[in-house]
A and B are shown apart, each in its own frame.
Chain A
Amino acid sequence: MARKITFRQAIHEALVQEMTRDPTVIVMGEDNAGGMGAPGEQDAWGGVLGVTKGLYHQFPGRVLDTPISEAAFIGAAIGAAACGLRPVAELMFIDFMGVCLDQILNQAAKFKYMFGGKAKTPVVIRTMIGAGLRAAAQHSQCLYSLFTHVPGLKVVIPSTPYDAKGLLIESIRDNDPVIFCEHKLLYGLEGDVPEESYIVPFGEASVVREGDDVTVVALARMVHFAQQAADALQRKGIHCEVIDPRTTSPLDEDTILESVEKTGRLVVVDESNPRCSMASDIAGLVAQRAFKALKAPIEQVTAPHTPAPFSDVLEDLYVPSPAKIEAAVTRVREYR
């Protein structure tokens, strides 16, 4: 039975269902319960945005609060995964990867290969991405392209409550390390989510809107901006096909290429900075593999090559907007 719940509730529900199903699933992170050692309430926070609230009492001993010590607890999650548990570690903001990157880049990602195939590391690292909260340069990045670059990591970027639940369950059951990126402005988004457990497989893009004129590939919050732009363009008679890859590693190349074969025009929308981004990666893929189908240069709508700014006027300019997407689609549509 589907009913409307938020993106936040969908993630919570996925955790509850997987922790119920599999006793090796544990949760750890900074203030995932909250209140450790303090005189007040235990489970005071349930994570900085309340996603894990309630798990502490529901699953005794399986929700571990950590010191603010990312290298230690992300590495511990990885080590525990290599020793038979299925930890879901919460790295509050993806920006904090800077202090624990070694454990992800050189340890988790490499075990399977450098140990000759004889290791599995079923760890999920849940982390918040994205700008829009006026959180500025150190709390607003996307960085998923950085992890997509690394062989051995899977990278998951849900844009809807339905996908968040199904992809998180798939992530927990997967035997490889997964970087699970949650856009911080999507937590309140409501959508239809079945009550029962289900998975959304990796490497299967979602065609969220069909259209014949222009292919728009977008990730996370940008999927919704692309839809807004597509609504406006439809009123002008331009029909966009909006594709959400949902996972960037593995990437569903076929769905993107087939769409461009049909439309001949591509706009990639990526909230990241532009260089070595998912936008440039997907543009490169299409330029190489669907060259003959292209009727116009590929457009990339991204943040500029700057850190995320603080001031609202600057941040609003920094994040790609529906208007910028609309303008890019119009340019490729009118290109002769």
Chain B
Amino acid sequence: MLTKPQLLQAYTTMRTIREFEERLHTEFASGDIPGFVHLYAGEEAAATGVCMHLGDHDCIASTHRGHGHCIAKGMDVHAMMAEIWGKRTGVCHGKGGSMHVADLSIGMMGANGIVGGGGPLICGAALAAKRKGNKGVGVCFFGDGASNQGAIFEAMNLASVWQLPAIFVAENNGYAEATSSTWSVAGGSIADRASGCGMPGVQVDGFDFFAVYEAAGTAIRRAREGGGPSLIEVKFMRFFGHFEGDQQTYRAPGEVQKLRETSDCLRQFAARVTKSGEITWAELEQRDREARALIDEAVRRAKADPKPAAADLLTDVYVSY
């Protein structure tokens, strides 16, 4: 059972991610944000439900759609925003951007511009935790697209062979770019692929925070206790396109509108906790206002922050040379 502070934390994290992404959607349209931006709106329950179980000694590997994982893992929201604006104050000093935002000090090993790139890396993080004996785990978030990459298959096999404290979280959001996962994932189930690698695999409703939280808890406990890796397939649909600017003509008419009305993790969460009487609507609305204010401030500061200096181009290539 989640305590009231935990429930509020979960809601706040999901709301912060949603505000962050909705705001980026608006800001991107103004032409201010450079490069490619892939939004996580609709998927908040996955990052939140998993990362609620993690501490700084646990590592996550993320994807090109990584903002939600960053926020759920505790990354500073202004430093993220500044990074996405390409500012020197960004968490990566403006050298990484949306697709490579990382903060190793909190175990966030990076969004990743390479689909499936995080699988092998998280095996290494889990191996390091195992060697250190600190009960840490590694969580690899990857998408339905990455589920078909060799690196993910290889990583799951290695994690099982080495009995690593690793959790593979497949975020099946319906589409890899413009291709439906119902077409690209042979066999139809990513979760079923776990059995081929000798690990448990479960499928959960990704719009249901509680379902994700419970499945992640089981897998993470198992990993911490030396039981080895697990796979969780989280099923949902993203609310925006593959990247900002995607016209999404591959989607059904009205698809997103319907999702927002019937399958929104935040709405489902709010309905459940208010109905049970654990939290009041007023308490949630206060969290909504706080999240909005946090994002407003992050955007305001990011816009005003300085760009990198020309000399920054040539630094940080090597630790020593």
Q: Interface residues, chain A, CB within 8 Å of chain B?
A: 24, 26, 61, 64, 66-67, 69, 71-85, 87, 102-103, 106-107, 110-120, 151-152, 154, 174-176, 203, 250
Contact = CB atoms under 8 A, between A and B. Distances in A.
A interface, by DSSP: helix, strand, loop or mixed?
Answer: mixed
Interface stretch (B122-130, B219-227, B248-256): B122-130
A151 B151 CA distance: 23
A118 B110 contact: no
A75 B124 contact: yes
B120 A176 contact: no
Contacts of A75: 117, 119-121, 123-124, 151, 155
Contact of A152 (B61, B158, B317): B317
Interface residues of B, number: 49
Contacts of B165: none
A33 to B, nearest CB: 13
B259 to A, nearest CB: 33
Interface of B: 59, 61, 90-97, 100, 102-105, 109-110, 112-114, 117, 119-125, 127-129, 131-132, 138, 150-151, 154-155, 157-158, 161-162, 315-321
Contacts of B162: 64
Contacts of B155: 71-72, 75-76
Interface centre among B61, B94, B96, B103 (most CB of A within 10 A): B96
Contact of A118 (B94, B105, B321): B105
A72 B158 contact: yes
A106 B99 CA distance: 12
A69 B316 contact: no
A36 to B, nearest CB: 9
Given A71-B120, A110-B100, A115-B104, A26 B316 contact: no
Given A79-B61, A80-B128, A117-B316, 9 more contacts: A64-B162, A67-B157, A107-B117, A110-B100, A112-B317, A114-B96, A116-B316, A152-B317, A152-B318
Given A82-B109, A107-B114, A116 B90 contact: yes
A114 B95 contact: yes
Nearest to A174: B320
B93 A116 contact: yes
A73 B154 CA distance: 9
12 contacts: A67-B154, A71-B150, A72-B155, A77-B124, A78-B120, A83-B109, A115-B95, A115-B104, A116-B96, A118-B103, A151-B317, A176-B319
Nearest to A80: B124
Contacts of B124: 75-83, 85, 87
Contacts of A73: 120, 123, 158
Contact of A106 (B114, B150, B161, B317): B114
Contact of B109 (A72, A79, A102): A79
A113 B151 CA distance: 23
B154 A71 contact: yes
Contacts of A66: 158, 161
A64 B121 CA distance: 16
A79 B125 contact: yes
B167 to A, nearest CB: 14
A72 B96 contact: no
A91 to B, nearest CB: 13
A107 B93 contact: no
A107 to B, nearest CB: 6
B54 to A, nearest CB: 14
Nearest to A108: B121
B157 A69 contact: yes
A205 B105 CA distance: 37
A107 B59 CA distance: 16
Nearest to B103: A118
A246 B114 CA distance: 32
A80 B318 CA distance: 18
Nearest to B120: A75
A209 B131 CA distance: 46
B129 A115 contact: no
Contacts of B117: 75, 102-103, 106-107
B127 A80 contact: yes
B317 A76 contact: no
B318 A82 contact: no
Contacts of A111: 102, 110
A222 B25 CA distance: 57
B319 A112 contact: yes
